[in-house]
Amino acid sequence: MQVMERENQTAGAQQSLRGKSAIVTGSTSGIGLGIARALTAAGANVMFNGFGSSPCINDLRRGLETSFDVKTAMSFADMSKPADIAEMIDAARTEFGQIDILINNAGIQHVEAIETFPVAKWDSIIAIDLTAAFHTIRAVVPEMKSRGWGRIVNIASAHGLVASPFKSAYVAAKHGIVGLTKTVALETAEHGITVNAICPGYVLTPLVAKQIPETAHARMLTEQQVIHDVLLHAQPTRQFVTTEEVGALTVFLCSPLAKSMTGTALPLEGGWTAQ
Ligand code: NAD
């Protein structure tokens, strides 16, 4: 009997999110798109968010809706604007009826020495990579508490755990989101809500591709040297992490079987922070 129950639980994990509804910020590209794909494959309805061309995003959504028999929606809300964030949350509620899962993923980066780091870049990075999560979380926690179930996953970074030079705003924002994760986890622990951060190492997305010339300039290296001697040098596996890996961990954290994991900052970085 116990064996059967265990098998049912494991089988349930495959489509464990059927009937749940999620928002994934910054899901038109890279890691957020990988997470949105994984959540729909697990049966969840997903509100996409981010920038990009409507026809491409609509094609992508139709494909996922057909493949996995889920609903999707799209919001072009700018995560640096609290009023846009409020509209996105309202639109998700109207579309799906409720929000069970919130993935704070939208993020930007800028690589430059502290003396010349542009003030406007600092402000944008803190707004999008940190403050946006404050606004989304405080908007969804009341309804999650009222239903006694919720899952919040914040995409931090290995830079939420350790620093690298020339990334002052990003490292500050990512350490900040780890702190936000722990605090909200404690506040919601008795309400069936879990709040966790995933800390990926380098994933070869447009965000990282853009950093390669910036880092080459800041450190006076060639772009090949940046890839091998800076980015992958940080990761003992010497391999980029994939969006599929981040998507799979997110689905697990959102599953019923992860109900006792909360307040964590999980490294997914090829051994980077073990050194
Ligand atoms: P990406 O550039 O491929 O995608 C970023 C997404 O965020 C896009 O959908 C973009 O449209 C959206 N976005 C950007 N600014 C926005 C705004 N103001 N409002 C709404 N959406 C906005 O980047 P990525 O590499 O997939 O990064 C996603 C997240 O993962 C970020 O938080 C990043 O810090 C984190 N991360 C990335 C890596 C990596 O190596 N790529 C590693 C660790 C953590």
Residue 7 pLDDT grade (very low, low, confident, very high; cuts 50, 70, 90): very low
Residue 172 pLDDT grade (very low, low, confident, very high; cuts 50, 70, 90): very high
Instruction: For 47-67, write each residue's pLDDT tens digit.
Output: 999 999 999 999 999 999 999
- Indicate whether residue 51 lines ligand 1 (CB < 6 A): yes
Predicted confidence at residue 14, as pLDDT, reads: 59
Residue 231 in contact with residue 210, Cβ under 8 Å? no
Please give the structure tokens belonging to residue 152: 């919040």
Q: Judging by beta carbons within 10 Å of its beta carbon (0-12, 13-18, 19+), is residue 114 exposed, middle or buried?
A: exposed
Predicted confidence at residue 3, as pLDDT, reads: 46
Q: Which CATH architecture has domain 18-201+242-267?
A: 3-Layer(aba) Sandwich (3.40)
**How far does residue 138's CA lie from ligand 1's centre (Å)?**
21
pLDDT for residue 1 is more than 60: no
Pocket test for ligand 1, best of 207, 227, 269 (most atoms within 8 A of CB): 207
Give domain limits for the chain: 18-201+242-267, 202-240
Q: Which residues on neighbouring strands pair with residue 151, listed in sequence order? A: 101, 194
Q: Judging by beta carbons within 10 Å of its beta carbon (0-12, 13-18, 19+), is residue 152 exposed, middle or buried?
A: buried
For residue 208, the ligand 1 atom closest to its alpha carbon is: 41
**How far does residue 98's CA lie from ligand 1's centre (Å)?**
25
Instruction: For 73-126, write each residue's pLDDT tens digit.
Output: 999 999 999 999 999 999 999 999 999 999 999 999 999 999 999 999 999 999
pTM greater than the 0.85 cutoff: yes
Instruction: For 10-44, write each residue's pLDDT tens digit.
Output: 444 457 999 999 999 999 999 999 999 999 999 99
- Indicate whether residue 272 lines ligand 1 (CB < 6 A): no
Looking at residues 166-187, what average pLDDT do you find?
98
